[in-house]
Structure 1
């Protein structure tokens, strides 16, 4: 079978013939039908997320169950599924606290590039191939933990279903689960890419009355307004903080979301907040990056800055719910797909377009 593999840092992703071992106990073999190309994948290619290589990339995907391992009962062969890249263990400290997105076991396995048992399923001859976030969706088939597959309705197209596996769930979840945006509130979204557009439409669903989209690429603003932005700010031309204050009668916004992962935009997301405002960092910055904010403003203005990982979601509940919203024409997914590639061969072109910052999402159909 073929898979898109980052063989070493500093190289292009290559399409390799690899071997895949059968699923073990509580694992599932999935035939991948569609995979989204996300900034997190690009971060690995650019060495901003230092993970072991060679590695099968891709974490946003949907497909069909091909085979189940011993003990798997919630899916069967032929089921349509979306992959969940935080397959929680259900036993660690954070899982028991109800924070499955912070599962210690899943996070450790993702850092090692293995499945939950510490081993891999991809090989090229005798060489072990790691897989990104226990998914590896840039492949014809993959093996994932049982909790890594969420059964979905069969009338949803695979490309749109794939987008819910990361971009839509992360963006909408940050609004609904992390920030709990209230009706009538004001929101700033810094970064109007694929995830940022989902934050924007999440804020609209939550009833925000003023949604300010901030970016440096003018071409993104028409899409941002289509997804629900009421105002736009071009950070390449205007002072972002002054512009947001002007749009909010000098007070700042109730909620802000940073969806880029850069220290300067994270600081902006804090500084555009009004008193008692809540800023949510969704963008993934390199591990060695620090952010500077004014210490006095924390107690004097009562601001809060927090993070959101995978939309602080419960994928087994939230993924089917988002797909129901899509089928009811209340959630935009079709419009997120800027370009479709009909083989894995398009992956490097998709990365180039993503790095250029002028698309929402590219889809690989496999």
Structure 2
């Protein structure tokens, strides 16, 4: 089958090959035919080494498609079912799951160090899948808990985005922060996840939603999808003074994953406000605060992993909001490419062009 492979961490482009096959099928596992997958900035971060991932590997973790076959003991899905891929499934029985924090379940990463693919000839033969999945491919084998059934009216391209970016952005609003109606919101970083935050803030009735991004096309997209105003980062301070009378925003979302942007998010929030860290950054990128400011500002700093709530429930809420017309998920897809176009899409992502690229297989 065909798949896009990164041979060494730090390489700029992927090798689209036709000699790859999925491995690991057996009890408790399912084999999926991927029909659509999203290109997320986390995939590029894994390619560069910002996010840890053994190589060689197949990137991709936002996917949707059909079940081809199921292993012994699998009852939740059957061959022919339409599913999206959950890259961080919860086991349901560990301490984190029992506390209702399934997105922190360590079992979700248990397959990261196990090869998902192999080459039918040549070296190296063993190939990993990003985050234990790897969706830049025609087929993949994953744990049964990764295959989540979707309704027939949900297109594969939208389902793929719900599998990560949409859930991460909407969930940060709905679950992590529980943004209140009538509040003021600023979103720093307006790619696919950031604009999902914007749409979530609009859906819950935020009064002011400021989109902040250095790329004009992304600012325009944020305005189209629910922001009340959009500015470049260098004028964030002016916008804060004008929109909030200098007090600061009730909620500020950092959706970049850099300490400098996180510090700007903290400074843009009002005293007693909430700073939500959504972007995935490097392990050695340190964020500093003064102990006095932390105490007297009393700002809440809330990291949000994969939407910060029950992932399956957030999927359901995203689908419900999409059906009701409260969020425009198709509007997040600004580019559509076949697998052979993946390197051009990566180049566009690096320049900040567009929101989400859908790879159709």
Matched, 1:357 2:355: no
Q: Measure the CA separation in 1 of the matches of 2:83 and 2:318.
A: 14
Give the superposition deviation at 1:108: 4.8
Partner in structure 2 of residue 8 of structure 1: 8
Give ranges in structure 2 of 5+ residues lacking alignment.
none
Q: Measure the CA separation in 1 of the matches of 2:65 and 2:165.
A: 17
Aligned residues: 356
**C-alpha distance 22-296 of structure 1, shift in aligned 2 (>3 A):** closer
**C-alpha distance 246-296 of structure 1, shift in aligned 2 (>3 A):** farther
Matched, 1:326 2:327: no
Partner in structure 2 of residue 269 of structure 1: 265
Q: Measure the CA separation in 2 of the matches of 1:281 and 1:262.
A: 10
Matched, 1:124 2:119: yes
Q: What is the TM-score when the length of structure 2 is the normalising length?
A: 0.95
Q: What is the TM-score when the length of structure 1 is the normalising length?
A: 0.94
- Matched-pair contact (CA < 8 Å) for 2:89–2:146: yes
Q: Measure the CA separation in 2 of the matches of 1:293 and 1:214.
A: 22
What is the aligned counterpart of 1:57 among 46, 56, 59? 59
Partner in structure 2 of residue 181 of structure 1: 179
What is the aligned counterpart of 2:168 among 155, 167, 170? 170
Matched, 1:291 2:287: yes
Partner in structure 1 of residue 229 of structure 2: 231
Q: Secondary structure at the match of 1:265?
A: helix
- Matched-pair contact (CA < 8 Å) for 2:173–2:197: yes
Partner in structure 2 of residue 18 of structure 1: 20
**Aligned residue runs from structure 1 range 1-366, under 5 A:** 1-11=1-11, 12-16=13-17, 17-21=19-23, 23-110=25-112, 112=113, 114=114, 120-125=115-120, 127-236=125-234, 238=235, 240-341=236-337, 343-366=338-361
CA deviations over 1:20-48 (Å, ceiling 9, x no partner):
23622111111000000000001011221
Q: Measure the CA separation in 2 of the matches of 1:330 and 1:30.
A: 30
Give the superposition deviation at 1:2: 1.2
Q: Secondary structure at the match of 1:316?
A: helix
- Matched-pair contact (CA < 8 Å) for 1:80–1:152: yes
Give ranges in structure 1 of 5+ residues lacking alignment.
115-119
CA deviations over 1:211-230 (Å, ceiling 9, x no partner):
11111112222211111111
